[in-house]
Structure 1
Amino acid sequence: MVGLAVRLRELGAEVRVCAPPDEEFVELLAGVGVTMVPTGAPVRPVVSSVAPGSAVGLAQRAADLMAAQFETVAAAAEGCDALVATGPLPAVAGARSVAEKAGIRFVYVSHSPVVLPTPYRRPPARRGQPLPDDMTDNRALWKLDAEIADAMFGEMLDTQRAAAGLPPVDSVRDYAFTDRPWLATDPTLDPWQDTGDLDVVQTAAWMLGNERPLPAELVAFLDAGEPPVYVGFGSMPMGSLKDVARVAVEAIRAQGRRVVVSRGWADLAPADDRDDCFVVGEVDHQALFGRVAAVVHHGGGGITTTTARAGTPQVVIPQGADQPYWAGRVADLGIGAAHDGPAPTVESLSAALKTALSPEAGARATAVAGMVRTDGATVAAKLLLDAADGGPTP
């Protein structure tokens, strides 16, 4: 989203980004000079305190998130020509309502294909609402998913809309996603299959573009030997990653490689202080990943795309959400390995690393890197501005 904001500004538009007030987001937006409007509560405390998949407290969090759209986002949208929204369904449904009330264009963008209805895959289960294992008709499952979404969020949305003078909606999910959602994923890594049900606009992934310098100490570590293996799990919580740093370091050392460990939100760290490991905080993955031998990660769409763009093999250890999908794509493309399950052992991760570090995976990763598009944010920005100038509605 920051990548889109920067491209829009470069093309002459005024941009405001509404985002949770986590320190990482504040610093990122400040670093590129984009106006940030803090919206809702910080995300990191929720990620750190809520068990993966748990629905405890979900209704209140959803209600608060939706209310923030009708309050903070509505104020930020005053005088704007368009509102682009992504994120959890309650937020997106609230954001579209804000755009409807203001009479401005609305675009929903997904950074993962798995949430968009398609007969080619099952919908992901919503928190606390498992889908029947014995149902195999994907169209029927997506219809059920819409009904579940209405049961979870319909009343709170209609209550907020009524207060804003708006009528109720028939389907929360379909209203939020619109019939022409944008998909900000790379078509090589994620080839969307058109079904005629949705007019999906696939722009390619939105990348920030300009590399930020790496810390001098990290550069010195990289320069001191053969390329290391990077291990990082982003915003995944500690609960699901209790032993992963120890296992990963041991497995990587078994391959004769040094290690770069990213702390992430789980605060990962090696079990010892040997000089073959280097621990980093927030760094620019675009600048780093071209200098490592492989990337071990959780399989978010962003890090999967960034690694593929760097031409570096990867090992995906999916923890949930859309991550098993991206793990499968990495394996199918031959640009690395998909670990079976979220909790690796030294043996299982060693096997995956052998695949990723093989000459075949390296050659394939290099080839695919040349296919990954870098213009997604520019494409999206031009679509928005063309529509503002009287062109086709995005």
Structure 2
Amino acid sequence: MRVLLSTYGSRGDVEPLVGFAAQLRALGVQVLVCAPADAEFAQRLADIDVPMVPVGRSARGLVTGATPPSAADLPRHAAELVAAQFDTLATVAEGCDALVATSIMPSAAAARSVAEKLGIHYEYVTFQQLTLPSPHHPPLPYPGRPFPPEVTDNRVLWDLDAQSINALFGTAIDTHRASIGLPPVGDVREYVHTEQPWLATDPILDPWLEPADLDVVQTGAWLAPDVRPLPAELVAFLDAGTPPVYVGFGSMAKQTAGLRAPEKIARVAIEAVRAQGRRVLVARGWADLALIDDRDDCFAIGEVDHRALFGRVAAVVHHGGAGTTTAAARAGAPQVVVPQAVDQPYWAGRVAALGIGAAHDGPIPTTESLSAALRTALTPETCERASAVAATIRTDGATVAAKMLLDKISRQRPPVSV
């Protein structure tokens, strides 16, 4: 059996697929992943012996370039991505039994179109619920297309969201569908999601509320296997003193509101951590954070296994990506979330509501504001709560999803005559 996984996004879109791919391989499935042309993603998948086919431009290059995409660029970039997805997936998906797609709408729409053309099983998965229509939360607005401030009914806002998606991506998708003999899509979002999308998040961290407009299947978060040892230099730093506070903003670029001056945010973070009498571990990330001096209480790192690291830190200061939030929660590490964009304010709110950390007010911290948030996160009460919640976080999400996919495929196959 062969399964193709398709995504276009940052590490937060790729890392869960590493966990899912590993579980599929454990069940005897041949797995191939289509992802952005970034060497770090190819290496991450190579770690578990899963091949990757690059599609589209480098995600890191796109968001960290000298001129990052603007709202006006969105339809053009989407059209380029749709074309790349159609060209690549049409070849790669040949001979596959299923295609599982995630990430941004135009990418997933192209993936489902290819699956439809080839007549193979298709599933859509998301790693945060805010893109799934629900009366309990509003949609995230697309750049350059804000919602009318007077509209507060969530269902009306979701109708406006569908209109925006069709306006931004519908023409490019339908043009390429026509080129392979498929009819136009009336509602792009509905087409991508299907009647039963998967939500690969933990039900404690991210509860899906009923009643809802979709029959959502929540599998639990897809956690990647621990296969990468921590670098020896990092282990030496960890062993040399008390647990440090980790500071990292993942795939957030320098152009993000709070990270436009990475040297400033690094100084703010380091000084705030030092004010608590703690050592500091700085993750460079896509914003290229760096140390501010040569004192031995600080250490800088590149990409490392969060699941292996977070059990050895005093707290995690981060941007609020779904993956980082889940990894810190699973490790029982108190968190300070400094949300930058998109779904990150939601995750910050969940961390605060669960009592497992603090939500910073806004994307641009000062030494004083970050120190205050850290004081909350490092209290014995927060640490105890983080440890208690860690024991409730599910670790079988990728396994559940892999078995569910294979069951669906087997039920759709025609019976073999004897």
Normalised by the size of structure 1, how large is the TM-score? 0.97
Aligned counterpart, 1:199: 215
Counterpart code for 2:160: L
Alignment pair present for 1:156 and 2:177: no
Aligned counterpart, 1:180: 196
Counterpart code for 1:197: D
Deviations 1:134-153 (A, max 9, x none): 11100000001101111111
Q: Following the alignment from structure 1 to structure 2, what is the Cα–Cα distance between the partners of residues 322 and 54?
A: 19
Alignment pair present for 1:123 and 2:139: yes
Q: Following the alignment from structure 2 to structure 1, what is the Cα–Cα distance between the partners of residues 34 and 314?
A: 36
Q: Unaligned stretches of 5+ in structure 1?
A: none
Give secondary structure in 2 for the equivalent of 1:237: coil
Shift of 1:51: 7.3
Q: Following the alignment from structure 1 to structure 2, what is the Cα–Cα distance between the partners of residues 211 and 330?
A: 27
Shift of 1:285: 0.6
Q: Following the alignment from structure 2 to structure 1, what is the Cα–Cα distance between the partners of residues 121 and 190?
A: 16
Aligned residue among 235, 239, 263 for 1:219: 235
Aligned counterpart, 1:347: 368
Aligned residue among 351, 356, 359 for 2:377: 356
Q: Following the alignment from structure 2 to structure 1, what is the Cα–Cα distance between the partners of residues 305 and 239?
A: 17
Q: 1:291 to 1:51 in 2, by over 3 A?
A: farther
Q: Following the alignment from structure 2 to structure 1, what is the Cα–Cα distance between the partners of residues 311 and 212?
A: 39
Aligned counterpart, 2:284: 263
Shift of 1:210: 2.1
Q: 1:50 to 1:7 in 2, by over 3 A?
A: farther
The question of whether the paired residues in 1 share the 8 Å contact of 2:42 and 2:51 is answered with: no
Shift of 1:196: 4.2
Deviations 1:253-309 (A, max 9, x none): 000000000000111012211111000001111110000000000000000000000
Q: Following the alignment from structure 1 to structure 2, what is the Cα–Cα distance between the partners of residues 296 and 157?
A: 39
Counterpart code for 1:72: T
Aligned residue among 84, 95, 117 for 1:79: 95
Shift of 1:133: 1.4
Alignment pair present for 1:93 and 2:114: no
Q: Following the alignment from structure 2 to structure 1, what is the Cα–Cα distance between the partners of residues 386 and 412?
A: 38
Q: 1:231 to 1:340 in 2, by over 3 A?
A: same
Aligned counterpart, 1:328: 349
Correspondences of 1:160-171 after superposition (within 5 Å): 160-171=176-187
Deviations 1:326-364 (A, max 9, x none): 000000000000000000000000000000000010000
Aligned counterpart, 2:11: none
Correspondences of 1:1-394 after superposition (within 5 Å): 1-49=17-65, 54-240=70-256, 241=259, 242=261, 243-390=264-411
Q: 1:53 to 1:45 in 2, by over 3 A?
A: closer
Q: Following the alignment from structure 1 to structure 2, what is the Cα–Cα distance between the partners of residues 64 and 2?
A: 26
Shift of 1:387: 1.3
Q: Following the alignment from structure 1 to structure 2, what is the Cα–Cα distance between the partners of residues 371 and 209?
A: 19
Counterpart code for 1:63: A
Deviations 1:148-187 (A, max 9, x none): 1111111111111111100011111111111110000000
Give secondary structure in 1 for the equivalent of 2:300: strand
The question of whether the paired residues in 2 share the 8 Å contact of 1:190 and 1:329 is answered with: yes
Give secondary structure in 2 for the equivalent of 1:25: helix
Shift of 1:35: 1.4
Percent identical: 64
Aligned counterpart, 2:3: none
Structure 1 segments (4+ residues) deviating >2 Å: 49-54
Shift of 1:57: 2.0
Give secondary structure in 2 for the equivalent of 1:32: coil
Shift of 1:68: 1.7
Deviations 1:6-55 (A, max 9, x none): 11011011111001110110110111100111111110111113778831
Q: Following the alignment from structure 2 to structure 1, what is the Cα–Cα distance between the partners of residues 165 and 33?
A: 26
The question of whether the paired residues in 2 share the 8 Å contact of 1:211 and 1:286 is answered with: no
Give secondary structure in 1 for the equivalent of 2:165: helix
Q: Which moved more, 1:27-36 or 1:317-326?
A: 27-36
Shift of 1:391: 6.8
Shift of 1:103: 0.6
Q: Following the alignment from structure 1 to structure 2, what is the Cα–Cα distance between the partners of residues 89 and 170?
A: 14
Give secondary structure in 2 for the equivalent of 1:144: helix
Q: Following the alignment from structure 1 to structure 2, what is the Cα–Cα distance between the partners of residues 270 and 239?
A: 19
The question of whether the paired residues in 2 share the 8 Å contact of 1:7 and 1:381 is answered with: yes
RMSD between aligned alpha carbons? 1.3
Q: Following the alignment from structure 1 to structure 2, what is the Cα–Cα distance between the partners of residues 52 and 247?
A: 25
Give secondary structure in 2 for the equivalent of 1:257: coil
Q: 1:218 to 1:15 in 2, by over 3 A?
A: same
Shift of 1:209: 2.1
Shift of 1:195: 2.4
Q: Following the alignment from structure 2 to structure 1, what is the Cα–Cα distance between the partners of residues 410 and 340?
A: 43
Counterpart code for 1:284: D
